[in-house]
Amino acid sequence: MLYLSTILLSAFITVSLIPVMTGLATRFQLVDLPSQRKVHTLPVPRIGGLAIAIGVIIPIVIWARGDDFAKAYIAGAGTLVIFGLLDDMKGLGYMMKFTGQVFAALVAVLYGGVRINSLGTLLPGAVQLPDWFAISLSVIAVVGVTNAINLADGLDGLAGGISLLGFCCIGYLAYLAGNDGVIILSLSLAGAIFGFLRYNTHPASLFMGDAGSQLLGFSAVVLAIKITQGDTPLSPVLPLIILGFPVLDTLTVMVERIREGRSPFSPDKNHFHHRLMRLGLYHTEAVFTIYVIQAIMIVVAILFKYYTDWALMIFYMVFSALIISAFVVADRTGFQFKRYPLIDYVVKGRLRRIKDDNWIISISFSISKIIIPLALLVSCLLPANVPGYVSVIVFCFILFILTVWRFLKDQIGFWLRFVLYLTVPLVLYLIEEGRAAWISPKMLTLYHLSFGIVAFFVLLTVKFSRRTKGFQMTTMDFLIIFIAVIVPNLPDQSIQSLQMGLLAVEIIVLLFSYEVLIKELRGRFDSLTASTLVALILTGIRGITGF
């Protein structure tokens, strides 16, 4: 329950702070203006990194504040966020940014114990590196990856999506290693990114800025080194697999700049994501392609985590050679991805015509309004036991919603989302802990299948909605699907025995559905508020009476 609470708390804090941060962006000149080397054409607030940072740090302070490593992490991450905000506001020179990065790296290495002491069997006899060399190599690695993720933040959702996959992988590896501190940090970061990405996927209404991208890069490399050094069966090469794509991108671009006689830090549009767009991919297609590549690397890291160091290194070298060769061949031959009329005009055109007819959205939305609250209501009946503390929590929620509904009705949608984001995971987790005796196996199977039915009608609603401000499907949905598919199939018996994968999928489906419903209701929340109150009252009464 601690892990679930961590990811939900960080996500909720981030989502809650984003409207406030967006309002402050213009006041403090934290707006990213269009330019020749940028893809966006309109000014976009770039203060999302601060919301992510707060969403990450609060759960760490609550649950891991006594850990020396966590303290060092907060000090280093806080330094980068401050320097990043100054850069976003005033445009710091590269040397000043570099100074902040080196200071943060030294804090992590010297105080937090994040040190590359061994390269495993890459060196004869798996010798330990001398302290002076280990410290220098660790600082270079931390600064290098911090910049790699910073430079990868060139398309909407790109840096956030890459990092989200990376932190999910790091969190799982930390779970295998029994490192609770790294698990909490990884889940806090994953939750904060998850909350941020809905605002950052194309077309983005918010950027994370240098404050956010440097934070993610620093966090990823620090946590990856932490779990793969010391007394662990995990290979020290794994960080290179997990973070290898943005590292390869950065090294390739810098080598090209030096070869052309330019500074390796001079800006241009030669990153992998820029090249993919020059090959004919649309913005979202380029991001999706990189997501797929990163997902493949994550799967490799999970499946081959105990393989020999040289096997992983050879894989990474072959992977790097294939990526670079593909771009070189494409540049020399003038290759362009073909746009097929069957897809772009026939299929998409037919979908647009169907969308113009209101009957599909009318049916799907009408059904969604009924089955989504019904799914939560049924879920409240299924736990074998509702603890007393849960009753206290839900009655506080009831009182809170009634107060908002009475005195702040214009804000009821926001606070309903807040309550649902806490209630849904809690109720579904209670079901997983123990189900009521009257539930037969067939009834349980039907219950699980009902989430598929909910998802079907919700996706129809999203796809055929004509509301420009309604919920929109994005490349982030690939991340959700990927995580939902991978989690149930992780090679760990304890996770499989708890059916954590199925639990994660059902939580995602129900929260996703409520998110769609709140967007599509356009402020008419009376029925949704009433159904939420009924579910809360039922849960609270069950906890008091033991029914």
Domain that holds residue 523: 347-545
**pLDDT category of residue 537 using cuts at 50, 70 and 90:** very high
In the predicted structure, residue 496 carries a pLDDT above the cut 60: no
The residue-averaged pLDDT of 431-457 equals: 86
**CA-angle at 527, arms to 521 and 533, nearest 5°:** 120
**pLDDT category of residue 239 using cuts at 50, 70 and 90:** very high
- Whether residue 338 is contained in a domain is answered as no
Per-residue model confidence (pLDDT) at position 391: 86
Residues 289 and 392 in one domain: no
- Whether residue 215 is contained in a domain is answered as yes
The residue-averaged pLDDT of 398-408 equals: 88
The residue-averaged pLDDT of 312-327 equals: 93
* C-alpha pair distances (Å), 304 with each of 177, 234, 235: 15, 10, 9
pLDDT in tens, 185-227: 998 998 888 888 877 776 767 788 888 899 999 999 999 999 9
Residues 389 and 503 in one domain: yes
pLDDT in tens, 357-398: 566 778 888 898 999 999 999 999 999 888 887 888 889 889
Q: Regarding predicted confidence, which is higher, 422 or 2? A: 422
- Whether residue 339 is contained in a domain is answered as no
* C-alpha pair distances (Å), 103 with each of 83, 91, 110, 239: 11, 19, 10, 21
pLDDT in tens, 64-116: 766 788 889 999 999 999 998 888 787 777 788 889 999 999 999 999 889 99
Residues 103 and 195 in one domain: yes
In the predicted structure, residue 36 carries a pLDDT above the cut 70: no
Residues 56 and 190 in one domain: yes
Cβ atoms within 10 Å of 331's Cβ, excluding its own:
12
In the predicted structure, residue 8 carries a pLDDT above the cut 60: yes
Residues 162 and 74 in one domain: yes
* C-alpha pair distances (Å), 440 with each of 88, 415, 437, 444, 547: 57, 36, 8, 6, 18
Residues 320 and 421 in one domain: no
* Listed residues 304, 333, 362: the one ending a domain: 333
Residues 209 and 309 in one domain: yes
Residues 320 and 377 in one domain: no
Distance CA 513, CA 368 (A): 8
Locate 255 and state its tokens.
Answer: 């080598």
Overall domain count for the chain? 2
**pLDDT category of residue 471 using cuts at 50, 70 and 90:** very low
Residues 315 and 359 in one domain: no
The residue-averaged pLDDT of 325-347 equals: 74
- Whether residue 54 is contained in a domain is answered as yes
- Whether residue 205 is contained in a domain is answered as yes
- pLDDT-above-90 percentage for the chain: 24
The residue-averaged pLDDT of 119-124 equals: 86
In the predicted structure, residue 277 carries a pLDDT above the cut 80: yes
Q: What is the pTM of this model?
A: 0.77
- Whether residue 210 is contained in a domain is answered as yes
Residues 522 and 405 in one domain: yes
Look at 237-251, 315-329, 476-490 and tell me which has the smallest mean pLDDT: 476-490
User: 32: part of which helix (H) or strand (E)?
Assistant: strand 31-32
- Whether residue 31 is contained in a domain is answered as no
The residue-averaged pLDDT of 476-480 equals: 63
pLDDT in tens, 40-59: 455 677 788 888 999 899 88
* Listed residues 305, 333, 361: the one ending a domain: 333
Per-residue model confidence (pLDDT) at position 488: 57
What average pLDDT is seen over the chain? 82
* Listed residues 300, 333, 366: the one ending a domain: 333
pLDDT in tens, 447-463: 888 888 888 888 788 77
- Whether residue 261 is contained in a domain is answered as yes
The residue-averaged pLDDT of 494-511 equals: 67
The residue-averaged pLDDT of 244-262 equals: 88
* C-alpha pair distances (Å), 4 with each of 116, 190, 422, 481: 31, 11, 10, 18
Residues 54 and 154 in one domain: yes
Residues 131 and 254 in one domain: yes
